[in-house]
Chain A
Amino acid sequence: MSDAIVEYRGISKFFAGIRALEDVDFACRPGSIHAILGENGAGKSTLIKIMAGVLQPDAGQMLLEGKPVTFPTPQAANDAGIVCMFQELSLVPDLSVADNISISKPPRRFGLIDRRAQVARAEELLAQVRCEDIDPNALVRELSLSRRQMVEIAKAIGRDPKVLILDEATSALTSRDVQTVYDLLAELKAKGIASLFISHRMHEVDALCDTLSVFRNGQHIETFAKGEKSEREIVRLMIGRDVEAQFPPKPAPKPVEERGEELLSVRGLKWGNRLNGIDLSLRRGEIVGLGGLDGQGQKELLLALFGVLRDVEGEFLIGGRKRLASSPAAAKSGRTRIALVPEDRKTEGLMLGMPIADNLLAASFSKISRGPLIDPLLARKAVDEEIERLRIKIGSSADPVMTLSGGNQQKVVIAKWLMTDPDIILLNDPTRGIDVGTKQEIYRLMRELANEGKAILFYSSDYAELIGCCDRVSVLYAGRVVSEQEGDAITEESLVAASLNIGIEAA
């Protein structure tokens, strides 16, 4: 293995006695795009954190270009040419794009930061990732999640990596940007740079990577070249058991008159210049998808229905009421209850530092109270029920929710809302950055909830999910519904075409 750029020999890492990685041998060659696959908690993050100098191994040795190295800090790893983009975006929201891109080594003149050089450098790097539309002087907080991720990529490229680690780097990207990233990685590959690619989207891994390594329970299971194994075999390696079909079966489409009661009807919904006249209808028992490129108003639509936005215009009929809810507190109570699983579970969905139990109960204080006081027995029962129902893997419900894996955190957000027994469930990309097993559980849960008579509005940036889960899909473009598709008519081609607002009508 003398040709490896990074090599692990017997690396182990334990957290409080729990195995995160054990005796891992692993190598990655220059000029390859190497996928790391595994469920959440399989040890992928630990693997790359050790490489990036964030964590120190408890045992074993790491070699860079054949020489033993240790990285006491991320800075040291950076200097050695290992650049990592972490799953959690690491941009500073209140600084400009240009500031963020050169945050660790800004160009200097006379010891002071040279703003002009900094902007020029940002422009050059953004051009490399084909995001000329991003203003280097814009604040990061003004950008959408997918744009931020592209800035993150530009920032990583700017550090001249020998090894580039992308941890879920494409999870929030639009399809167009994903293509850009593919092209970019191919260019880097030609230059002899090794890329480590962590993704939960099999088709991305398939399109992009040449080598695949599977991890499970902190162990390196197998490394093989692309094409050696079928997708089914790979999934089996990852979870160590067989899986049934990825999506639960959909019920046959019913004629309009046999469908469930219409819970929500919206006509001509307008908000500022983001939503420009949206028509939407939602019935009991159905899953309606929201498609389209990122940032076409899907998020705003969900927020408007949940009562977060002010000055929303349009005609509404929601469970007999002619108005939108005035606040999330109003949306979750009343006769027709609405729940929202927000886009960013770490900042919008969860109080990360608080116990799991408190997070689960955060929307349901009135349900567990007798008179003015919370009944600890009722609270405990409600928490245990939801943990059991969603099979959330926890140690103790008093642990902070941040100790859970991404998939289990998302389950906590969903469970919190199921506790309120909502009629309408709004989901904003609920499977982003979580493992295959949990994704499937969420798909199944969505269908079960729909069968119980709930109405589900589901935004996803992954077309496969929309096709696999939804009874109907409305595709948004520039704050408008440009296409509505039903049943078998929902295909990848039709969704992509509608997303780009290209008028292809089925010939």
Chain B
Amino acid sequence: MRISIAPENRPIVIASLFVVVILLAGTAYTLSTAGSAPLLSPNYLLQQLQTGSFLGICAAGMMMVILLGQIDLSIPWTLTAAAMTATAVGGDMALPTALGVGIAVGLLNGFGVAYLRIPSMIFTLGVDTVLRGLMVAQTGGFAPQDTATPLMLFLAKDKVLGIPVAIFVWAGVSAIIALMLTRTGFGRSLYATGSREGAAYLSGIRTKWVIVGAFVISSVCAATAGFLLTGYSAKAYQGMGNAFLLPAIAAVVLGGTHILGGKGRYTGTLIGVVLIVLLNSVLSIMQMPEAGRQIIYGSVIITMLLVYGRNQRVTS
């Protein structure tokens, strides 16, 4: 029997199946080597989701920008800058500071892309480099405070009802993003602008504001992730965001968001994040050497994108 799946849901279904395959393969491996199945224990999964929440929040923001057909390469140092500035300020002002840094970077990125019309791939890369320079300069002459504030520690490490708080934060961000995409004019404008900016503009959509808005959301998400990550690792440090850029993009794209914009569902991005987190943890359980992990990780992304691409061609 054939089950028909709407084209926009197909990547989500494929990615979900792949998540199951990873879990089964990983479990088979551990059963055969150690005789136990840690991958299927709720505690282990929650712990994976807790570490995945930082990536998940970054990917949520990245999705806004990719829906426009743009990209935000300034994620790593936006995250780091927000975290380092927040700890340097410390106290109750840490959270507003982190979000403020996110908003400022987002406005700058949005301005460059929407008004100066510089391709986002170039502009955000430049902003990333500038932020890195600023952070190096800040820590060069003296050592600012870099320990996590109590709020950071609570959000990243504590548990409520046995579930890590970080997962609640990720869920909250996800709920806001999903509601915004499906039920607000801004969300619809995002799809319209990403689908064809000229037509959206001539429909009276303020496309420049939409672009700026998307970059602000992306940077604020990165800043939030930085805030949490500081709590998780107890301090802010240079390069803490480096590991998030590629996985964030990969999660969005594996979740079925079209890299040229205009198409994609938030559920897909969530599953994309879960897929990447599980893939990473299974590879580390297998004690795969770093080189092998990188090769498998990259191959999986390319293979899945090929599968999506074929599907789209067949359906069109």
Contact = CB atoms under 8 A, between A and B. Distances in A.
A interacts with B:
yes
Interface of A: 306, 308, 327-329, 331-333, 340, 342, 347-354, 358, 361-363, 365-366, 369, 372-374, 376, 416, 420
Contacts of B44: none
B159 interface: no
Contacts of B202: 306, 308, 328, 340, 342, 348-349
Contact of A354 (B185, B201, B262): B262
Contacts of B185: 365-366, 369, 374
A347 B196 contact: yes
Given A328-B204, A333-B204, A347 B199 contact: yes
B262 A329 contact: no
Given A362-B192, A374-B184, 4 more contacts: A350-B199, A365-B188, A373-B179, A373-B184
A327 B206 contact: yes
A352 B198 CA distance: 12
Contacts of B179: 373
B195 interface: yes
Contacts of A416: 203
A327 B184 CA distance: 21
Main DSSP-derived SS at the A contact region: mixed
Given A329-B206, A331-B204, A353 B262 contact: yes
A383 to B, nearest CB: 13
A348 B188 contact: no
Contacts of A328: 201-204
B200 interface: yes
Nearest to A420: B204
Interface in B197-245: 198-206
A351 B195 contact: yes
Interface residues of B, number: 21
B72 to A, nearest CB: 23
Given A351-B262, A354-B262, A332 B188 contact: no
A363 B195 CA distance: 15
Nearest to B195: A351
Given A349-B199, A351-B195, A363 B183 contact: no
In the A-B complex, the 4 residue pairs with the smallest Cβ-Cβ separation, listed nearest first, are: A365-B185, A351-B195, A332-B204, A362-B203
B263 interface: yes
Nearest to A325: B204
B191 interface: yes
Contacts of A348: 198-199, 202
Nearest to B207: A329
A241 to B, nearest CB: 34
Given A365-B185, A366-B185, A351 B192 contact: yes
Contacts of B206: 327, 329
A473 to B, nearest CB: 25
B87 interface: no
B189 interface: yes
A347 B195 CA distance: 10
Contacts of B262: 351, 353-354
Interface in B234-278: 262-263
A376 B183 CA distance: 8
Interface in B262-314: 262-263
8 contacts: A308-B202, A327-B206, A331-B204, A333-B204, A348-B199, A351-B192, A354-B262, A362-B203
Nearest to B185: A365
Interface string B174-186: 0000010001110
Q: Which residue among B185, B191, B205, B206 has the maximum number of chain A CB atoms within 10 Å of its CB? A: B185
Contact of A361 (B188, B201, B263): B188
Contact of B200 (A327, A351, A369, A372): A351
B115 to A, nearest CB: 13
B192 A358 contact: yes
A333 B184 CA distance: 18
A354 B183 contact: no
A308 B204 CA distance: 10
Contacts of B196: 347, 350-352
Contacts of A374: 183-185, 188
A332 B202 CA distance: 10
Contact of B199 (A306, A351, A420): A351
A169 B189 CA distance: 34
B261 to A, nearest CB: 10
B203 A363 contact: yes
B159 to A, nearest CB: 32
B188 to A, nearest CB: 6
